[in-house]
Structure 1
Amino acid sequence: MIERRPFNSLGAANHGWLDAKHHFSFAQYYDSTRMGWGALRVWNDDTIAAGSGFPPHPHADMEIITYVRDGAISHEDNLGNKGRTEAGDVQVMSAGTGIRHSEYNYESDTTRIFQIWIVPNRRGDPPSWGAKPFPKDDRSGQFVVLASGEGNEDALPIRADGSVLGATLKAGESVEYSFADARRYGYLVPATGKIEVNGVELEARDGAAIKDETVLRITAIEDAELILVDTAA
């Protein structure tokens, strides 16, 4: 089953400095049919104006993965971590027992991110933060694991039964992805480009909620940049 969720059907909140789209219920947006997907709880498509951002605020008991689509985001937290994550790269914050952080776009241009929250499979661990570059050339024609709870040494670690993966395809190219079994939940978003996944067409920034599938065959109708989350129920 693959359910297309068109971009124009997503929840929306425009705060001037922040233009946010919500694939799942978040903040003031509530939809009882979109409370999460497997262990995936949040997928926000955020556009952040230059010189603005999220002031210090707390989190706990959540794995928060930020994929930067355009521009850069600068992180600072109460553990002393500081970092700047650029387009195509990823940062992970394991909120654990509690962390307070800020995220700002200090750039002169707009920053666009996907922020993805996955429910952890354990609690009580101390909080942590990390970031890593993922060159897009390495993802050409194939999925690369960006963040994972499976112990993948090339990916950023998360404390969850899930993975976040990225791929880039040129128009006409195809890629396959196999789930460990049909009980897994998948959520796929083309950051850019138009694609077809198992016969279902997606426009840029649409979501595809996937379950009861073992293999995805994805073909790019246009040059495309893909982000996929694979989680337990």
Structure 2
Amino acid sequence: MIDVRRFETLGGADHGWLKARHHFSFADYHDPARMSWGRLRVWNDDEIAAKSGFPPHPHRDMEIITYVRTGAITHQDSLGNQGRTGAGDVQVMSAGTGVRHAEFNLEDELTTLFQIWIETDRPGAAPGWGQREFPKADRSGRFTVVASGDPADGALHINADAKVLAATLKAGESLTYDLSDGRRAYLVPAVGEVDLNGIALNARDGAGIKDEPTVTIRARADAELVMVDSL
């Protein structure tokens, strides 16, 4: 089964400095049919204006992954962590027992990103933050795990039985991914056009995948892919 969520059908909000589209119910957008995809609770497609951002605010017991598409985001939190994450790179925050953080676009250009929330497997764990560069050349033609609950993946750590993966494909290239029994995936092309098991997806469309043992993705145009594999 593949449940396609076209970009133009997504909920959203325009706050001037922030233009957000929500793949699942979030904030003032509520759709009972789009509450989550398994343990994946939030996938927000955000455009943040230059010299603006999210002021300090709290979270707890959620795994929050930020995939920067263009520009950069600068993080600061109540644990004393600070860092800048640029285009193509990833930051993660395990909110755990509670943390306050701010996310600002300090650049002179628009920043675009995906913010992904996955339900934690460890409520009440110590909060934490991490950031890493992931060169696009290293994921050309294949998925690279950028965040995972499995230390063997060598990725940024999250407290969830889930993987966040990224890949780039040239037009005409394809890749396959085996989805284990009982697991789901959610795929979004950040840019480009692809066929997912024969179904056409455009940039920023979402596709929920379950009961599909093998996922085959073929690029109809140069594409950058982000996918979550979770329960």
Q: Report how far residue 204 of structure 1 moved.
A: 0.2
SS at match of 1:8: helix
Q: Report how far residue 153 of structure 1 moved.
A: 4.7
Large movers: runs of 4+ above 4 Å: none
Q: Report how far residue 3 of structure 1 moved.
A: 1.3
Q: Deviations over 1:70-127 (max 9, x none)?
A: 0000000011000000000000000000000000000000000000000011111110
In structure 1, the residue matched to 2:201 is: 202
Q: Report how far residue 4 of structure 1 moved.
A: 1.1
Matched to 2:225, the amino acid is: L
Q: Report how far residue 152 of structure 1 moved.
A: 3.1
Q: How many residues align?
A: 231
Q: Deviations over 1:152-173 (max 9, x none)?
A: 3520000001100000000000
Matched to 1:37, the amino acid is: W
Matched, 1:192 2:188: no
Q: TM-score, normalised by structure 2?
A: 0.99
Distance in 2, matches of 1:163 and 1:105, equals 26
Matched to 1:224, the amino acid is: A
| Counterpart contact for 2:145–2:153, Cα < 8 Å | no
Distance in 2, matches of 1:180 and 1:37, equals 16
Distance in 2, matches of 1:230 and 1:203, equals 20
Give runs of aligned pairs for residues 55-204 of structure 1, distance below 5 A. 55-181=55-181, 183-204=182-203
Distance in 2, matches of 1:154 and 1:161, equals 14
Percent sequence identity over matched residues? Answer: 63
Distance in 2, matches of 1:164 and 1:180, equals 15
Q: Deviations over 1:171-192 (max 9, x none)?
A: 00000011122x1111000000
In structure 2, the residue matched to 1:43 is: 43
SS at match of 2:64: strand
Distance in 1, matches of 2:161 and 2:153, equals 15
In structure 2, the residue matched to 1:2 is: 2
Q: Report how far residue 214 of structure 1 moved.
A: 1.0
Matched to 2:59, the amino acid is: H
Distance in 2, matches of 1:180 and 1:74, equals 36
Q: Deviations over 1:54-79 (max 9, x none)?
A: 00000000000000000000000011
| Counterpart contact for 2:189–2:223, Cα < 8 Å | yes
In structure 1, the residue matched to 2:219 is: 220
Distance in 1, matches of 2:27 and 2:207, equals 22
SS at match of 1:152: helix
In structure 2, the residue matched to 1:231 is: 230
Q: Which runs of 5+ in 1 are unaligned?
A: none
Q: TM-score, normalised by structure 1?
A: 0.98
Q: Which runs of 5+ in 2 are unaligned?
A: none
